[in-house]
Structure 1
Amino acid sequence: MKTKNFILSAGLLALSLTGCTDLDVNVKSQYTGLVSSPEAVQANMANLFFQMRDCLGRRYMEAMCLSSDEYTSVAYSGNWVDSYAYAHPSYHTCRPEDATMDWMGVLGRANVLANEIVASDYTEENKCAARAMRCFYTFLIMENFGDAPIPDAEYKQANGLDLFDRNPRPEVAKWIEKELLDVYDKLPEVTTGDNYGKPNKYMALALLAKLYINWPVYTSVKVADYNAASAQNEKLADCIKVCDQIINSNKFALGPVSYRFKFAHNNTELVESGQIKDFIYVMPYDTYEAQGMQWNRSHAYKDIKNLNPSYFGEKMGQSGGGYMTITPECVDRFNLPGDERNWMIIGLQDKDGNDAGGQVYVYDPTTLLPTDQKVLDKTGAPLVLSKNITIPDGNDIASVDVGDNLTGWSQGYRSVKWFMCSRDYNNGRHLSNDVPIFRYADILLIKAEALVRSGQSGAATLFNQIRSYVNAPTISGEPKLDDIYMERGREFFDELWRRNDMIRFGHYEDEWFPHYKDNPNASFDPNMRVFPVSKNDLDVNPTWSQNLGY
């Protein structure tokens, strides 16, 4: 080991310390450098790449889904209230103490490690990978919390930015752009094999596309100042350019496998065999070797253990949490005849595409399609879900208490998109479904959106590629922004991008269950477009201030 001098943002350093409140340290501090043996390098790089695995597998997912119009939380006669940690995102009334908010520190710790790698004697390849990951984690902090600590002390000093505090969101966006433009072409082009789940050239370009399409959101001086109707995006040409770099690489495609297989428990194998070419950047999971993906713990029907077989075609040996259910407004988006994506929601359609009226059917675990067999509840009666969610009179509206009985458990339709097998679910509910973070389909729709926003033609061709692939009706003219917004809601349902889209398109203050204006628990304050900084992060960063409105 050797000791190095390195300038480190005290805010980020604080995020890497658990339970530490004494931050009276020099900006230039001595610390032990990273070990550079092959084993240590491999371990440190893996730690950096997969630092987010656990929170993506639960808490980050909860924050994204529950604050959007895709999901609401429900409680069962006092069960799953958990100090309203799940209800608060649904109402846009999050608290710094909520468990669903406590994951900024995970991203901060990753950036501390990235900085150590950048300052080490590791190879340039490793340093470039660390810089790309640093951009990704900082993007997520900026996206979700607004102002963020830029993890580049040299840049901050050169630009007169505070070394200790969070930096203004517009400055963070500019730094991310600078770093990605400098590093993307130095990253590997390979997205599979040994580089699967690791930063690559196209991951950096996809992150740039996300940054550019949201540029007016991120560069508004105040979060609440962004106005989707009047915002001007100076980065649309740049957005189209980076999308074209990905498209013209000819490395990606929507197929050849059908849509539903992309999200199943064996999607790793389908990538390796060339059946999935849509994934640009992925978080890999495995029920034994890469645990943390537990989405169906919250998504599944609460009494799934007593369904024999369950709607996944097998009996499941673990109970369901069931505290997240799909809003009726989300269900209503899946209204295109023949659209394969309609089957991602159980209770919506039968195997022939007819309205199922809430009746849940057993899916074939090989074809991932519904069969004629009806799912039976624990009494032996057909399991029928209610699209419209009802809170019984006298129950707690603040926690969306639907009651802890068969009627309560049936409130809201459920997702089968992340198709699971009993082997995984029975192993502590740890799923093997890899989660794509950037997909080729997203690049097609981002480019289409950028073309429409800049008044250019050509969006229909991109739009119709998505529609044709899922057997949905194509359009004859150029899509409008509302068409693209609705299509994104179908294509990326349950993939954690809906909140991002809602803010950009100006729909985050809309109404959906239970976020209705006649519900006294709901907030429509545009400051809620970012989350509160968690109490734990504020405790170790006494110079930080809470976000406006919290």
Structure 2
Amino acid sequence: MKKNKNTIQRFSKVWLSAFAFATILSSCTDLEIEQTDSNFRDANDSSFQGVTDPQSFVDDIYNQLRGQIGDQANLYALSEVTTDAALVPTRGSDWGDNGIWRQLHQHDWRPSHQFIENVWNQWNNTHFRAAQVLSDLTQADATLKANASFLRALGMFVILDNYGQIPVRDVTATPFVDPEVISGQEAVDQIVSDLNDAIAGLPTVGPGSGVGDTNSPLIKATKASARYLLAKVLLNKHIYLKTEPATADMNQVITLVDAIAADGYALEDDYFDIFKNTLDKETIWFIPTAVGNRIWNGLHYNQSPEIVGGGWNGFATLAEYYDLFEGDANSNAPGSGQEERRGVVPNGGLPVSQVDGGVDVNDNNIADGSSVGFGFLIGQQFSDTGAPLNARSGKPLTFKRNFVDGNGNPSLINNDETTGIRVIKYNPRFGGQTEHEIFFRFSDAYLMKAEAMFRAGQDPTAMMNVLRGLREATPFSSAVTEQDIIDERGRELYTEFWRRNDLIRFGQYTKDWELKTPSEVGNDNRNLFPIPANQLILNPNLVQNPGY
């Protein structure tokens, strides 16, 4: 039987009551849920009457993304810490957390892992709430429906990409109806259909429109952001279907990226300026959420204490990831031969007059946080006055390539305060909690086009060299390979949510890397996360993914 996509959305019953409780307690939204909304229906009542205030309802779905994207745990952790790009060692007792961070990097997680459960609940909630707006029972205008189509597609994409199957239900059904489950072609078709509807109904908004303004049109989806997400889905489609990449899909990716460029989006030539809260040509969609997690979770406790009391000394990266970039393997100081994206470790701060929006709480004419470098922080770190910083032990604060315990053995536990190269794109000199995190960026779309060309039998070397030229990197001297493309994505898009997705698409997510559990190397079952155990009990239509 053919289902009406505007009235059908199936959803796990446990999320309904959980979401209602969370909404009541939430202090970050002005949404007032009416008793007619399905989240507050009696469990035996199937008389969903539609969303009574669809504008506020859609606004609140967008507002919830602030926590879902701005968090350092949950989706960000699953996307980055499970890869070669990020890890969180235990330093003394700091960041132990019963092993929850270490398990991700080691590929030793279980179905009960809290972040895996949270992502499942959060993003299923996103697509279910969007479906309520898309119901024929909800009186919403075409633009709101288009936003809801985009949000449903986004939520379903995250669930499909991470778990391989999506529970969905009719919004008019009671919570006791077992949700149906879609996967593979059916799931892709639903997401693609929603995104085509979104492209048709969303506004055309060029780059830089109101960036930094909480009412910016770039805070909500536009035609460009819907095209970006559709290109992302099509680029990964063969992974979800377990087939080879289809030339027709790759050609559509190329067409979609060209359409984004036609709206005015383009590459910028000052890499780290992209991550300031200012106008730029690269930002397709940003989330107005504080970027503090991206700044402080890797910095040492003694770095920039005048801003938020110093860093949290957790996140770092592997030396092998750092070595993807050009430059001295043991130094990222000025003049180390590094490409622009690898950043630099300065030897002191800058005059406040030289930093856009700089703040000087110490009244020493030095911009707070301006001694914190960009990109990859390795070796000796300095204060704003240029004095070498020390760790709390009194020894020099020198970030090191390796992760070792007190006996010098490779380990993710019993590390001291200085192990691991730190990574930073959003710099504290521009604000310690600026609400501007980029989620969709044109250089990603540009590299998606290059990859699609490659998979369709074309040569993208010239266009990739355009990007490398802007990033002050040596151009490729011969036709690019598949490894060149994945490495270039790693250099361009670190900390931007895409490393896991990329590694899976290139068949490298299960490769060996430092401190991964040896028995998990080559275990393709880890390409999907497990379905949370409680969801399997509540919904018999779900089937646990292989290996769990």
Same fold judged by TM-score > 0.5? yes
Residue 455 of structure 2 is matched in structure 1 by: 453
Contact 1:418 1:433 in 2 (8 A): no
1:414 aligns with 2:422: yes
Pick closer, same or farther for the CA change 1:503–1:530 going to 2, 3 Å.
Answer: same
Residue 226 of structure 2 is matched in structure 1 by: 204
Residue 324 of structure 1 is matched in structure 2 by: 315
Kindly tell me the number of residue pairs found equivalent between the two proteins.
477
Residue 149 of structure 1 is matched in structure 2 by: 167
Residue 297 of structure 2 is matched in structure 1 by: 298
Residue 100 of structure 1: how far off its partner (Å): 2.0
1:136 aligns with 2:127: no
Pick closer, same or farther for the CA change 1:486–1:49 going to 2, 3 Å.
Answer: same
Residue 279 of structure 1 is matched in structure 2 by: 283
In the aligned structure 1, how far is the partner of 2:309 from the partner of 2:145? 42
In the aligned structure 2, how far is the partner of 1:385 from the partner of 1:394? 15
Residue 352 of structure 1 is matched in structure 2 by: 335
In the aligned structure 2, how far is the partner of 1:433 from the partner of 1:348? 31
1:92 aligns with 2:107: yes
Residue 265 of structure 2 is matched in structure 1 by: 252
Deviates more, 1:55-64 or 1:26-35: 26-35
**1:351 partner SS:** coil
User: Alpha-carbon deviations, 1:101-150, whole Å to 9, x = none?
Assistant: 12221112222221221121111110111011110111011111111135
In the aligned structure 2, how far is the partner of 1:535 from the partner of 1:297? 33
The 5 Å alignment of 1:354-369 reads 361-362=347-348, 364=350, 366=355
Pick closer, same or farther for the CA change 1:27–1:198 going to 2, 3 Å.
Answer: farther
User: Alpha-carbon deviations, 1:441-492, whole Å to 9, x = none?
Assistant: 11111111111111123x1232122112112122344322211111111000
**2:502 partner SS:** helix
Question: Among 162, 168, 177, which residue is 2:192 paired with?
Answer: 177
1:472 aligns with 2:473: yes
1:29 aligns with 2:51: no
Residue 510 of structure 1: how far off its partner (Å): 1.1
User: Alpha-carbon deviations, 1:211-236, whole Å to 9, x = none?
Assistant: 1111210112xxxxx7xxx7666511
Contact 1:297 1:321 in 2 (8 A): yes
1:68 aligns with 2:83: yes
In the aligned structure 1, how far is the partner of 2:309 from the partner of 2:533? 33
**1:411 partner SS:** coil
Residue 61 of structure 1: how far off its partner (Å): 1.1
The letter of the residue matching 1:494 is T
Residue 18 of structure 1: how far off its partner (Å): 1.6
Residue 543 of structure 1: how far off its partner (Å): 4.2
User: Alpha-carbon deviations, 1:496-528, whole Å to 9, x = none?
Assistant: 1111110111111111121163xx5x4531011
The 5 Å alignment of 1:370-381 reads 370=373, 373=386, 375-377=388-390, 378=392, 381=395
Pick closer, same or farther for the CA change 1:12–1:293 going to 2, 3 Å.
Answer: farther
In the aligned structure 2, how far is the partner of 1:136 from the partner of 1:32? 25
**CA root-mean-square deviation:** 3.4
The letter of the residue matching 1:391 is D
Pick closer, same or farther for the CA change 1:379–1:182 going to 2, 3 Å.
Answer: closer
Contact 1:74 1:80 in 2 (8 A): yes
Residue 163 of structure 1: how far off its partner (Å): 7.3
Question: Among 204, 209, 226, which residue is 1:189 paired with?
Answer: 204
Residue 115 of structure 1 is matched in structure 2 by: 131
Residue 28 of structure 1: how far off its partner (Å): 8.7
Contact 2:10 2:167 in 1 (8 A): no
The letter of the residue matching 2:424 is V
Pick closer, same or farther for the CA change 1:496–1:32 going to 2, 3 Å.
Answer: same
**1:284 partner SS:** strand
Pick closer, same or farther for the CA change 1:13–1:49 going to 2, 3 Å.
Answer: farther
Residue 42 of structure 1: how far off its partner (Å): 4.0
Query: TM-score, normalised to structure 2's length?
Result: 0.78
Residue 533 of structure 1: how far off its partner (Å): 2.3
User: Alpha-carbon deviations, 1:25-47, whole Å to 9, x = none?
Assistant: 999921353223xxxx4432221
The 5 Å alignment of 1:327-338 reads 327-335=318-326
**1:513 partner SS:** coil
1:486 aligns with 2:487: yes
In the aligned structure 2, how far is the partner of 1:394 from the partner of 1:35? 62
Residue 17 of structure 2 is matched in structure 1 by: 17
The 5 Å alignment of 1:215-234 reads 215-220=237-242, 234=248
In the aligned structure 1, how far is the partner of 2:296 from the partner of 2:489? 25
Residue 436 of structure 1: how far off its partner (Å): 1.6
Question: Among 434, 437, 449, which residue is 1:435 paired with?
Answer: 437
In percent, how many aligned pairs have the same letter?
22
**2:449 partner SS:** helix
Pick closer, same or farther for the CA change 1:201–1:336 going to 2, 3 Å.
Answer: farther
Residue 285 of structure 1: how far off its partner (Å): 1.9
In the aligned structure 2, how far is the partner of 1:479 from the partner of 1:127? 42
In the aligned structure 1, how far is the partner of 2:84 from the partner of 2:428? 24
The letter of the residue matching 1:438 is F
Pick closer, same or farther for the CA change 1:348–1:12 going to 2, 3 Å.
Answer: farther
**1:455 partner SS:** coil
In the aligned structure 2, how far is the partner of 1:549 from the partner of 1:179? 32
User: Alpha-carbon deviations, 1:71-119, whole Å to 9, x = none?
Assistant: 1221123432222211111111212222221222111222222122112
Pick closer, same or farther for the CA change 1:152–1:488 going to 2, 3 Å.
Answer: farther
User: Alpha-carbon deviations, 1:376-427, whole Å to 9, x = none?
Assistant: 1146653211102213449995xx2033xxxx11111101212125963xxx
Residue 526 of structure 1 is matched in structure 2 by: 524
Contact 1:395 1:401 in 2 (8 A): no
Query: TM-score, normalised to structure 1's length?
Result: 0.78
**1:532 partner SS:** coil
User: Alpha-carbon deviations, 1:280-326, whole Å to 9, x = none?
Assistant: 1111224xxxxx8523343222xx2xx2xx2x6x6444353323211
Pick closer, same or farther for the CA change 1:152–1:254 going to 2, 3 Å.
Answer: farther
User: Alpha-carbon deviations, 1:219-263, whole Å to 9, x = none?
Assistant: 12xxxxx7xxx76665111111212211233x112226x111222
Residue 289 of structure 1 is matched in structure 2 by: none
Residue 106 of structure 1 is matched in structure 2 by: 122
Unpaired runs of 5+ in structure 2?
1-5, 21-38, 211-215, 357-369, 374-380
The letter of the residue matching 2:47 is Q
Unpaired runs of 5+ in structure 1?
1-5, 155-161, 221-225, 287-291, 425-430
Contact 1:148 1:166 in 2 (8 A): yes
In the aligned structure 2, how far is the partner of 1:478 from the partner of 1:248? 27
In the aligned structure 2, how far is the partner of 1:17 from the partner of 1:542? 19
